[in-house]
Amino acid sequence: MSGCEPGETIGAFLCQAGQVLRAAAVETPRLEARMLLAHAMGCRQEDLLRDPRAPVPAKAQARFREILDARARNLPMAYLLGHAGFWTLDLLSTPATLIPRGDTETLVEVALDAFPDRAAISRVLDLGTGTGALLLAVLSECPGAFGVGVDRSAEAAALARANAARNGLAGRVAVLAGDWAAALEGRFDLILSNPPYIESAAIPGLMPEVALHEPALALDGGPDGLDAYRTLAAELPRLLAPRGRAVLELGQGQQPAVEALMRKAGLHPLECRADLGGIPRALLLGRG
């Protein structure tokens, strides 16, 4: 606690938490300390800064110490806070699903750009929906569309339903627990997917927040990272409407291999857009 204000005040707890998180190699220890304390106290971060000498209630102290310890052990912030932002939405986040990431918003941009007339999107499918992030983001921009989400995890499907309700979209969404598209019939104007694409052997080397806490089912793409894309290549042709489009998330370096799989299935790569880090991330596909 060296250099920290003594006692059980907001300032003292923030100082102590900053030191703990810095020692745990957290990149933004002061910011995360504020986020965690605000969450424990049920207030906004701005409220903490108004009076750093104010006491922290005993119940909040206990909760704060609990979640601070968890963060120091690499539990992701989104799981500790219970929600994460994506596009314009606020989504519940639990260890049942991957945490929505900014890179994945690139898929939403590509999907919307592919349909200048949003009214042309009436049926949307999201395979491996997780939190429902992709599906709900697109539906929020396309008021005339109805969406179907599928996830192999029943817990993830339940979370996506909760997120649809949380964002006022429950009446326009059906979320199913199932094996990819095996139980689906009919055609969709837009198909989205952020499938598992990490090579199995590479998962232990990922950041601890990911490797130790995010669900392996949503990460593991098999020995070469392409297992899910093979499944998608087999299913997309029968599900995509004649003038429909599919948008798939890619891992780093996967563009050539995934494009080859899709061409063999009769689908044509139309665009591959990089994320803000310059990595080819969103592959747009059509029938021609």
pLDDT value of residue 185 = 87
pLDDT value of residue 81 = 94
Q: Report which residue type is found at 150.
A: V
Report whether pLDDT(61) > 70: yes
pLDDT value of residue 1 = 36
- Collapse the DSSP code of 237 into the 3-class scheme (helix H, G, I; strand E, B; otherwise coil) and give the result: helix
Q: Which two tokens stand for residue 201?
A: 């052997």
Mean pLDDT along residues 80-94: 96
Read off the pLDDT of residues 17-37 as tens digits, 9 standing for 90 and up: 999 999 999 989 999 999 999
Read off the pLDDT of residues 166-194 as tens digits, 9 standing for 90 and up: 999 999 999 999 988 888 989 999 999 99
Count CB-CB contacts under 10 A for residue 32: 20
Mean pLDDT along residues 242-246: 96
What is the third-level CATH fold of 82-286?
A: Rossmann fold (3.40.50)
Mean pLDDT along residues 233-243: 96
Read off the pLDDT of residues 261-287 as tens digits, 9 standing for 90 and up: 999 999 999 999 999 999 999 999 998
pLDDT value of residue 7 = 58
Report whether pLDDT(121) > 90: yes
- For the chain, the 3-state helix, strand and coil shares in percent, each to the nearest 5, are 45, 20, 35
Report whether pLDDT(4) > 60: no
Percent of the chain with pLDDT over 70: 97
Mean pLDDT along residues 41-48: 92
Q: Is pLDDT larger for residue 288 or for residue 202?
A: 202
Degrees to nearest 5, angle at CA 197 with 154 and 288: 100
Mean pLDDT along residues 123-139: 98
Taking the C-alpha atoms of residue 267 and residue 178, their distance in angstroms, rounded to an integer, is 24
- Collapse the DSSP code of 27 into the 3-class scheme (helix H, G, I; strand E, B; otherwise coil) and give the result: coil
Domains of the chain, residue spans = 10-73, 82-286
Mean pLDDT along residues 211-225: 94
Residue 230 CB contacts under 8 Å (≥ 6 apart), including other chains: 261
Report whether pLDDT(254) > 70: yes
3 torsion bin: left (phi>0), alpha (psi -120 to 50), beta (else): left
pLDDT value of residue 183 = 80
Read off the pLDDT of residues 146-169 as tens digits, 9 standing for 90 and up: 999 999 999 999 999 999 999 999
pLDDT value of residue 288 = 64
b/e sequence 215-239, b meaning 16+ C-beta within 10 Å? beebbbbeeebbbbbbbbbebbeeb
**Average pLDDT of the chain, as a whole number:** 94
Which long-range contacts link 85-91 to residues 24+ away (Cβ below 8 Å)? 86/131, 86/133, 86/137, 87/133, 87/137, 87/140, 88/137, 88/140, 89/133, 89/136, 89/137, 89/140, 89/163, 89/167, 90/166, 90/167, 91/131, 91/132, 91/133, 91/136, 91/163, 91/166, 91/167
Taking the C-alpha atoms of residue 140 and residue 136, their distance in angstroms, rounded to an integer, is 6
Taking the C-alpha atoms of residue 62 and residue 223, their distance in angstroms, rounded to an integer, is 43
Report whether pLDDT(6) > 70: no
